Amino acid sequence: MSEVAAKSAPTPGEGAEVREFPTLVNGEWLHGVSKPFDNINPADTSDIVGRFQASTAAEAGLAVAAASAAFERWKKTSVSARAAILNRAADHLEANADRNAREMTREMGKALNLAKDEILRSAQTLRFYAVEGQSLTGEVFPNDDPDMTVYTLREPLGVVTVITPWNFPISIPARKIAPALMTGNTVVFKPSSDAPLSGYRLVEALVAGGLPKGVLNFITGAAGEVGAAITQAPAVRAISFTGSTAAGEHICRSVGFTTRTQMELGGKNPLIVMDDADLDKAVDLTIKGGLSLAGQACTGTSRVLVMRQVRAEFTEKLVERIKALKIGSGLTAGMDMGPLATARQLETVLRYVAIGKQEATHLYGGERLTGAGYDGGYYVAPAVFTDVTQQMAVAREEIFGPVLAIIEVESYADAIAKANDTEYGLSAAIATRNPRVMHDFANDIQSGTVKINRTTTGNLINAPFGGVKRSSTSTFRESGRAGLEFYTQIKTVYRGC
């Protein structure tokens, strides 16, 4: 397919003929090289959003080879030329934001306004790295030899593989691919098989922006088939992965010690509600942090640790608000929560709801929704459990769905101990009016992101992002200036005259 055809491609599905989308290898859009698989709308499973190539390991290997062949030239391309490509790609994303947002909502279920925000934020990410990547410098070191200068250079690594999940299907790829390209690396990108179209649109924008052939390669298909080829190939110097802890750990263990990895993984994020908190605001933080995106944000609130004195009042307010939430397709304006993104997600959430009913006190929700508007999709009512204790599965395991576990705490110290009693450490929040507690919380909580009177979800594009413990490899942060460092290695030069 030509670039022009890609730019003017109609929105697939929605009554139109289902379009088959290609991979991109060495600048060639490849159709029909593999058997296609369907990208399904989780709000209406009869709606096929698009068909994507189920690439083979051999095809994935060609993508790595193309990225490898393109590296030397791209490395020598000027930073201003790289920046101009990112800026033109940002223009392209913005110009197609409405179409792309609709596709994103159809492929993974989030509300249309959130999908559009994500696309515009991805464009902003490209622009941010177009500027920030031009000022990434080395250092100069004082030394005793007047005829020698000692300094460091930051060099690109080579071929980097980017693997992303379905929940932020364009912003996560953008925040990985933009710094990789800006620092002179070439990329093999594999999006989630559950939401590949948004990733495709990012690739399309970068190609339209003028990216030379082979610099960015786009492979779709099952991880079991293509995963090893794009992670274990000797030419792959680094892997930036976002997804489940299990998959990240598997990839980390399967690659050599010289392969640099950046793994952003699961979470079990707490919100502590202190007895001095504004309870209406705390309820708001819980709902926005825990239920927007149907609980499918890596930083989503899943544990709510509430002081005993306010637990009854907080819980009553929370359940009342949750009962009033509007649940429906992300394409319908005014919905508070959409469907789960996949059949697998639905199965997982229903399984944990059943477990929660066995081990804790079930207050509300958790059932699959049926009837008009729901029958064709993966809808569940948000679930609330209380009397949750530290040993319970709903308190320990990442569910990644609209399931809230309320845990009673006796004091700030008890809250911190329970909040930290988890294998994860991605994001954590507290609702309080006490400045002393705010200060201590930032120091005491074991978490890569700390929020005070804000939702556990959400992060800036110009600030570092990542987790601790099993939420991340704790190697390099993503996002912001830190996001550039992962993609470069330091060379120290001693230059005499």
At 275, list the tokens.
Answer: 């007895």
Asked if 340 contacts 294 with a C-beta cutoff of 8 angstroms, the reply is yes
Among 87, 152, 244, 420, binds ligand NAP (CB under 6 A): 244
Listed ranges 10-18, 134-142, 187-195, 481-489: which one lies at the site for ligand NAP (CB under 6 A): 187-195
Nearest-approach distance from CB 410 to ligand NAP, in angstroms: 30
- Considering the complex, state which of residue 262 and residue 286 has its C-beta at the smaller distance from ligand NAP: 262
Nearest-approach distance from CB 344 to ligand NAP, in angstroms: 8
**400 lies in the site for ligand NAP, by CB under 6 A:** yes
**163 lies in the site for ligand NAP, by CB under 6 A:** yes
Phi, psi of 402 (to 5 degrees): -80, 65
- Considering the complex, state which of residue 109 and residue 209 has its C-beta at the smaller distance from ligand NAP: 109
- Considering the complex, state which of residue 81 and residue 222 has its C-beta at the smaller distance from ligand NAP: 222
**301 lies in the site for ligand NAP, by CB under 6 A:** no
The mark string for 455-474 relative to ligand NAP (x by CB under 6 A, - otherwise) is ------------x---x---
Question: d(Cα 49, Cα 106) in Å, to the nearest integer?
Answer: 7
**401 lies in the site for ligand NAP, by CB under 6 A:** no
Residues between 213 and 232 with contacts to ligand NAP, criterion CB under 6 A: 222-223, 227, 231
Question: d(Cα 231, Cα 303) in Å, to the nearest integer?
Answer: 34
Nearest to 29 by CA among 63, 57, 58, 61: 63
Asked if 63 contacts 23 with a C-beta cutoff of 8 angstroms, the reply is yes
Nearest-approach distance from CB 494 to ligand NAP, in angstroms: 39
Among 25, 202, 247, 331, binds ligand NAP (CB under 6 A): 247
Task: Identify the burial level of 4 via C-beta atoms within 10 angstroms of its C-beta, where 0-12 means exposed, 13-18 middle and 19 or more buried.
Answer: exposed
**298 lies in the site for ligand NAP, by CB under 6 A:** yes
**114 lies in the site for ligand NAP, by CB under 6 A:** no
- Considering the complex, state which of residue 125 and residue 242 has its C-beta at the smaller distance from ligand NAP: 242
Among 12, 22, 165, 480, binds ligand NAP (CB under 6 A): 165
Asked if 209 contacts 86 with a C-beta cutoff of 8 angstroms, the reply is yes
The mark string for 3-42 relative to ligand NAP (x by CB under 6 A, - otherwise) is ----------------------------------------
**59 lies in the site for ligand NAP, by CB under 6 A:** no
Residue 475 has, within 13 A of its CA and on its CB side, a CA count of 17
Nearest-approach distance from CB 163 to ligand NAP, in angstroms: 5
**193 lies in the site for ligand NAP, by CB under 6 A:** yes
- Considering the complex, state which of residue 64 and residue 274 has its C-beta at the smaller distance from ligand NAP: 64
Question: d(Cα 383, Cα 367) in Å, to the nearest integer?
Answer: 8
- Considering the complex, state which of residue 185 and residue 471 has its C-beta at the smaller distance from ligand NAP: 471
Nearest to 198 by CA among 255, 131, 123: 123
Q: 3-state class of 241 per DSSP?
A: strand
- Considering the complex, state which of residue 106 and residue 268 has its C-beta at the smaller distance from ligand NAP: 268
Could you write out the three-class secondary structure of 334-395?
A: CCCECCCCCHHHHHHHHHHHHHHHHHCEEEECCCECCCCCCCCCCCECCEEEECCCCCCHHH
**340 lies in the site for ligand NAP, by CB under 6 A:** no
Strand partners, 30: 23
Residues between 418 and 437 with contacts to ligand NAP, criterion CB under 6 A: 426
Asked if 413 contacts 404 with a C-beta cutoff of 8 angstroms, the reply is no
**243 lies in the site for ligand NAP, by CB under 6 A:** yes
- Residues recognised as catalytic: 264, 298
**331 lies in the site for ligand NAP, by CB under 6 A:** no
Query: Judging by DSSP bridges, how do beta strands 449-452 and 427-431 pair with one another?
Result: parallel
**265 lies in the site for ligand NAP, by CB under 6 A:** yes
**448 lies in the site for ligand NAP, by CB under 6 A:** no
Report how far apart, in Å, the C-alpha atoms of 176 and of each of 170, 172, 336 are: 10, 6, 29
User: How many other CB atoms are found less than 10 A from the CB of residue 104?
Assistant: 27
**170 lies in the site for ligand NAP, by CB under 6 A:** no
**60 lies in the site for ligand NAP, by CB under 6 A:** no
**250 lies in the site for ligand NAP, by CB under 6 A:** yes
* Amino acid in the structure at residue 213: K
Exposure string for 9-42, b = 16+ CB within 10 A, e = fewer: bebbbeeeeeeebbbbbbbbbbeebbebbebbbb
- Considering the complex, state which of residue 6 and residue 195 has its C-beta at the smaller distance from ligand NAP: 195
User: How many other CB atoms are found less than 10 A from the CB of residue 481?
Assistant: 17
Listed ranges 10-18, 245-253, 388-396, 430-438: which one lies at the site for ligand NAP (CB under 6 A): 245-253
- Considering the complex, state which of residue 118 and residue 264 has its C-beta at the smaller distance from ligand NAP: 264
**266 lies in the site for ligand NAP, by CB under 6 A:** yes
Report how far apart, in Å, the C-alpha atoms of 243 and of each of 164, 166, 226, 296, 405 are: 6, 9, 16, 12, 23
At 443, list the tokens.
Answer: 């120091």
Which residues contact ligand NAP (rule: CB under 6 A)? 163-167, 190-194, 222-223, 227, 231, 242-244, 247, 250-251, 264-267, 298, 398, 400, 426, 467, 471
